[in-house]
Each structure stands twice: as structure tokens, then as C-alpha cells.
Chains A and B, each alone.
Chain A
Amino acid sequence: MEGFLPAIWCAVWFVLSIPAIAFGIYKLNKLVKEKREILPLLAVAGAFIFVLSSLKMPSVTGSCSHPTGTGIAAIMFGPAITAVLSIIVLIYQALFLAHGGLTTLGANVFSMGIVGPVVSYLIYKAGMKAKLNFYFVVFLAATLGDWTTYIVTSTELALAFPAGGVLTFGAFLSSFGKFVAIFAITQVPLAIIEGAVSALLFKYVVEVKSDILIEMKVIGEPLVRKLRGLSA
């Protein structure tokens, strides 16, 4: 929300986010230069973030929240490029929807564009290594990435507004409990839906354009054969 972090914390999150964004832009340029054919897939991953982050859905707690949609981009292109895609959506929502905000942009990029995607990416890599079912791994990665985003948001708020005004560990925990109570449960069903829809989109990408995924080493060729065999 615009203005809802003290200036010092706005600065902290900007300072932490800017290097990631810069690295993301560098990686993006390099990737597009080397492999122009990934552009459509990049557009799809970005568009998915656009769609999912626009959907405010009613949750079990009686309040509405929205998914993040960053899981697909994180799995395909890595967290740095996902941070760049996220900032586009966050700026759109800050300018035209009074949603998010420019002063809090750094904090929002940090939670939605960096930590969430890093978690998705790591879970994807770990899940693939453990040879779990591919679509289940995509589901887990997207679901937990979404959920983590909101846990980080709660952390950011609790750091800025510790109980009693002085930042001690106890004060932080007390505030964190209050903020996380808003998001943690509300976000669970939405995160599950995000995971499910992400797995579905991934299935279609594997069906129609697996060669790029293999080239980018997102998935191996034997697995594509197996997935196609199952779904063909």
C-alpha cells in the first residue's frame, strides 16, 4: 500500500531489490540476444503474472486476496528475470489501480519478485532431483512460492511496525503474528489454485513447445518423452 512503510524501510527494500533487478535485466538481455526464440515464452510467463495477480479471489477467511503468478516464470527463467517481470506488473498496479504503491515498490518486488520466485525455483530444482512427478513439483513450487511471498510481506510489515515501536525480536514476533494472521490462512487456498493452474499451463507448454524448455535446460529430454507419452 502506498505510503504504508516508513521512509527508512522503503529505502532498505529498494536497496535490497535493485541489485536483483539489475542482474535480472542483464540476464534478460543476454538471454534474448542468444536465444530470440524464447521471447514468446517470456511473454507467456509475464502474461501469466498479469492474469493471476489481477484476480482477487474470495478465501476461507472471508476476505479477498490475489495470487502472484510468478512460479512459471521462476521455473522457466529463474528468479532474477522473474523479478523484472514482476516489477512491470507492480508498476502497472501502483500507477493505475492504487494497488501496491511506488514508495513500497521495493518491498513488493522483494517479496513477490525475489523471495517467492527463489523459493519456487529451489523447490523445483529439489523436486526434480528427487524425481517426483513433474506436474506435482510445478504445483508445489508455485504454491509455496505464492505463500512465501505473503509471509515475506508480513515480515516486512512487522520489521517496520514492531509492537511498542522498538525493534526487538519479541516485538517483531508479536507484530509478525498479527500481520501473518491476515495473510497466511487467506492465502492457502489461493496458493493451491495458483499451483494447480501453473501445473496446467506447464502441461500445455510441454505439449506444444518443449524444444525451448529442453534448450534452456528447464527439463530434460527423457522426461519430455515420458510426459508426452502419458499425455499423448
Chain B
Amino acid sequence: MSRKLEFIVLAILLIFTAQFFYISSTTHAEYSGADDKPAGVIEQITGGTYKPIAEPIWEPPSGEIESLLFGLQAAFGAGIIGYFLGYYRAKKNYENELGCKTKSKPEKQSL
């Protein structure tokens, strides 16, 4: 099985990591969220006259809780992806081994 794509992706991730270590050790970057920065620009453009028209209904009480909820979101997604890829892979392996389709579905043309 060719792993060319995996190596390319790994290389990209390594370059990204190197970039992070380089920037974080050579500058005093705060690594705050870019999503929150427009608020500052809006204040600057409008001269501080703009007041948000709404507040979030609920905010995570702390950074830890926020991380927890983001972590849950990622874990939930990763679980689903892993489950179905694993399910299909095993299904395909058994089908190949037994030489038959495990599910009755309209047989068109097998690959």
C-alpha cells in the first residue's frame, strides 16, 4: 500500500509545527483568537460608538470549560469518523476473504 500521501501530509504538519516553535520562540506572540480581533477593529473604525446588539446567551465560565467543550466537539467528530471508516474497512476485508457480499444490495458491478 502506497503511503505517499501520508508522508506528504506528515511533512506539511511538521512544517506547521516548526513554524509554531520558530514564531513562538522568536516573538512575543500571544496566540489569541483571530475571531476576537475584529471587535478591536470595529471599535477603531467607529470610534468606539458601536455597541454589540446582543450578548451570548451563555458563556463558558472559564477557559478550561471552553477547552472541555471544544474537546468534546472534536472527540465526538473523530469518534464518528473512526467508527465508520473502521466498519467499512473490516466489512470490505471480510467480503474479500469470504468472496461474497455481506449485504444484499442491488448488484451492479463489483469493482
CA distance A97 to B66 in the complex (A): 6
Which residue in chain B gives the minimum CB-CB distance to A201? B81
- How many A residues, CB 8 Å from partner? 81
With A64-B31, A97-B70, A193-B12: A58-B36 Cβ-Cβ less than 8 Å: no
Partner of B2, one of A59, A62, A165, A230: A230
Query: In angstroms, how far is the closest chain B Cβ from the Cβ of A5?
Result: 8
Contact (Cβ within 8 A) A44 B32: no
Which of A14-22, A74-82, A115-123, A174-182 is the contact stretch? A174-182
Chain B interface bracket (under 10, 10 to 19, 20 to 34, 35 or more): 35 or more
CA distance A47 to B13 in the complex (A): 21
Contact (Cβ within 8 A) B70 A56: yes
Per-position binary interface string of chain B over residues 78-104, scored 1 when its CB falls under 8 Å from any chain A CB and 0 otherwise: 111100110111011000000000000
Per-position binary interface string of chain A over residues 158-196, scored 1 when its CB falls under 8 Å from any chain B CB and 0 otherwise: 000111010000000001001100110011010011001
With A97-B60, A203-B5: A62-B29 Cβ-Cβ less than 8 Å: yes
Partner of B35, one of A99, A196, A210, A221: A99
Contact (Cβ within 8 A) B37 A182: yes
Partner of B33, one of A6, A64, A203, A208: A64
Which residue in chain A gives the minimum CB-CB distance to B37? A182
CA distance A5 to B2 in the complex (A): 49
Using Cβ atoms and an 8 Å threshold, which residues of chain A touch B50? 6, 161
Contact (Cβ within 8 A) A44 B111: no
Using Cβ atoms and an 8 Å threshold, which residues of chain B touch A199? 5, 9
Using Cβ atoms and an 8 Å threshold, which residues of chain B touch A64? 31-34
Contact (Cβ within 8 A) A193 B74: no
Partner of B80, one of A47, A96, A186, A232: A47
CA distance A93 to B74 in the complex (A): 12
Which residue in chain A gives the minimum CB-CB distance to B57? A95
B62 proximal to A (CB < 8 A): no
| B residues neighboring A (CB under 8 Å) | 1-2, 5-6, 8-9, 12-13, 16, 19-20, 23-24, 27, 29-39, 41-42, 44-46, 50, 52-60, 66, 69-71, 73-74, 76-81, 84-85, 87-89, 91-92, 105, 111
Q: 25 A-B residue contacts at CB 8 Å?
A: A1-B35, A2-B56, A3-B54, A37-B105, A41-B84, A43-B80, A46-B77, A49-B77, A50-B73, A51-B78, A54-B70, A54-B77, A58-B20, A58-B23, A63-B31, A63-B34, A95-B57, A135-B5, A161-B50, A175-B45, A193-B13, A199-B5, A200-B5, A221-B111, A231-B1
Known: A54-B70, A63-B31. 12 other contacts (CB 8 A): A7-B53, A50-B77, A54-B73, A54-B74, A58-B24, A64-B34, A94-B56, A95-B58, A98-B60, A102-B54, A165-B46, A200-B6
